[in-house]
Amino acid sequence: MFINRSKNKSGTTSVRVLQKRGRNNVLVKSFGSSRDMSEIERMVEQAQEFIRRQTGTYYNLFNQPPEQNLEDFIGKLSNSQISVDGPEVVFGRLFDHVGYDAIGGLFRPLVLSRLVAPGSKLKTVDYLWRYNGVSYDVNKIYRYLDKLCGRKGNADDIKSKIEQITFAHGARAMGGCIDVVFYDITTLYFEVAGEDDLRRTGYLKDGKFDCPQILLGLLVTREGLPISYEIFQGDLSEKKTFIPLLKRAQQKFADTWIRTTRTKATRTTADAGLLSRKNIDALVAAGYEYILGARLKNENANVKKKVLALNLSDGQVASIETDDGLRIVVSFTEKRQKKDAFNRTRGLLRLQAKVASGKITKKHINNRGYNKYLRIEGEANISIDLETFEKDAAWDGLKGYVTNATLPDEEVLANYHNLWFIERVFRMSKTDLQIRPMYHRLRNRIEGHICICFCVYVLQLEMERLLKAANSTITLEKARELVKTMYALTYTKSGHIKPSKTMLRMDPLQQELYQLVDEWVKSDLGNA
């Protein structure tokens, strides 16, 4: 068998494997055609690999004279015999440990490749071929994404199986008891024009106000272990996402949810953007304890008077009761005071510059952000309300939390501060995993893409858990880098036709990481 490159009338080059039979060359396998030289070379490598597999002509290390072994072996090595197996032997074992090995198809390569080489689906195809020697059609990946989240409620609903596995792992890691859940929501924008039933223009935290977006809500445990997530249309108010996600999570996990919430009331924690009387009433009706961020300056005059009368010093925490019987815990720190004062001053300076330039009009007069320091006099005279600016200084350093929990004030504060886990999740998903930009248009593919990123985060968090438990100096980012240079060699043993694969010698840090994962999955540490 041999490789044939032939020019086509269209200007493309076809790559085929032919075999001599008598006087004729017979087509064995076609590997496609392209105008791009890098793509042609990729197809040639595929053809070479095909011939080696068909003929069993992998280089035999053991049949050479001893003095020639090393030189001949190195000289005959090809790129196709070297693969990057680090993601599989390290994160792949965590993948199985969590339980994701129950999900077949393309799920495994899509998750592991995104973990170490996040990018578009075309880049994923290139990575899998270049570093793993496995060829995938990008259209096959798109069809898998359609299937991943496209059959909700059916027996073959893959996403539901993934969620059940993830929830079970989170409960197992928490010792079977989920007594606290944290919730937050973020926006994910699309760099395209036009809207549909999911991608809608709304308030965007990233400042891309002309871009359609979706909302991504996430539930995690007190240690940041993911429980569930939901996607909402982009123009939906954040306040309207909290209770629906919580109810859907209870419905999805049913008995498992009940078994793992052993305390009298599971405690939910969320930031001030989700604070509403309707949400509070719904949480109480469902038997939840709650800790929600409060907006102190939006409370009525009586409550604000009580807050300011506390006269807290640095690090102090106290609580008051509102007119309608709610408990508000208030904390004060000098560090937050300095930050609030700095932000107020910076906002004022920006407003003053805009007023001086004449860029401020009547439409900017509202109570949003630092625009509340604007005032209009007469028909068109816009100025800065310095009196309001100075009054706001009294609130610098103060932070409030609305709760029905019976916890001491200090513990309410400590529980709320664990929300940084979720904020960290969103930073990780948006940057490290490159969840954006998303060029998908179809809803199923958008949901499939986010599902893959969600599972990648689960594996990363599991890696962080084991590194922390082992007091290792290896960071998550370092672990991701280490696996990229853990190579395997494919070769043929003497007297064998079927090729074998072995890992090349690891450096000390790689060996440490490999052993830590091995000990983790074999012990009870990863299950408690």
pLDDT tens per residue, range 141-167: 888 888 887 655 454 578 888 988 988
Q: Which two tokens stand for residue 297?
A: 């300056």
- Min mean pLDDT across 212-226, 267-281, 342-356 is at 267-281
Query: How far from 133 is each of 1, 89, 141, 358, 449, CA to CA, in Å?
Result: 20, 16, 17, 62, 23
- More confident of the two residues 376 and 499: 499
Query: Region 70-84: what's the mean pLDDT?
Result: 72
pLDDT score of 248: 78
Q: Is the peptide bond between 437 and the residue preceding it cis, with omega within 30 degrees of 0?
A: yes
Chain centroid, CA 347 distance in Å: 32
Comparing CA positions, the residue from 126, 117, 124, 129 lying closest to residue 80 is 129
pLDDT of residue 122: 83
- Percent of the chain at pLDDT > 90 equals 18
Does an H or E element contain 316, and which?
A: none
Q: Is there a contact between 360 and 292 (Cβ–Cβ < 8 Å)?
A: no
Exposure string of 395-420, with b = 16+ CB inside 10 Å and e = fewer, is bbbbbbbbbbbeeebeebbebbebbe
Measure the CA–CA gap between 128 and 506, rounded to whole angstroms.
21
Q: What pLDDT sits at residue 2?
A: 81
Return the SS3 of 294. Answer: strand
Cβ(19)–Cβ(51) under 8 Å? no
60 has a pLDDT exceeding 50:
no
In this prediction, residue 364 carries a pLDDT of 52
Residue type at position 315 = G
What's the token pair of residue 526? 């990863």
Q: Are 158 and 148 in contact (CB under 8 A)?
A: yes
Distance CA(419)–CA(282), nearest Å, equals: 21
Reading the block at residue 238, the tokens are 């954040």
Mean pLDDT of 388-407: 86
Amino acid at 129: W
Higher pLDDT among residues 270 and 335, named by residue? 335
**CA pair distance 444, 459, nearest whole angstrom:** 23
Residue 313 confidence (pLDDT): 92
**Start-end of H helices in 18-91:** 37-55, 66-76, 86
Calpha distance 313→446 (Å, rounded): 48
The listed range with the strongest mean pLDDT (15-24, 92-101, 432-441) is: 92-101
pLDDT of residue 103: 92
* Domains in the chain: boundaries: 1-55, 59-271+419-528, 336-395
Task: Give pTM, 2 decimals.
Answer: 0.66
Residue of higher predicted confidence among 527 and 283: 283
Phi, psi of 385 (to 5 degrees): -85, 90
Confidence bin at 411 (pLDDT 50/70/90): confident
Q: Is the pLDDT of residue 105 over 80?
A: yes
Alpha helices in 233-333 (DSSP H): 242-260, 277-285, 301-309
Q: Is the pLDDT of residue 67 over 50?
A: no
State residue 419's pLDDT score: 63
Residues facing residue 433 across a β-bridge: none
* 115-147 pLDDT per residue, tens: 888 877 888 888 888 888 788 888 898 888 888
Q: Calculate the average pLDDT of the chain.
A: 77
pLDDT score recorded for residue 155 = 46
pLDDT at res. 262: 39
Q: Give the residue-averaged pLDDT of 465-491.
A: 91
Tell me the mean pLDDT in the region 185-214.
64
Q: Is the pLDDT of residue 102 over 80?
A: yes
Q: In the predicted model, is pLDDT for residue 243 greater than 80?
A: no
Residue 6 has pLDDT above 70, yes or no: yes
Report the percentage of the chain scoring pLDDT > 70: 73
* CB-CB neighbours of 329 under 10 Å: 24
- Per-residue pLDDT, 524: 60
* DSSP one-letter string for 90-134: IIHHHHHHHTGGG--TTHHHHHHHHHHS---HHHHHHHHHHHH--
Beta partners for 82? 489
State mean pLDDT over 469-477: 92
Output the CA angle 224-445-476, nearest 5 degrees.
30
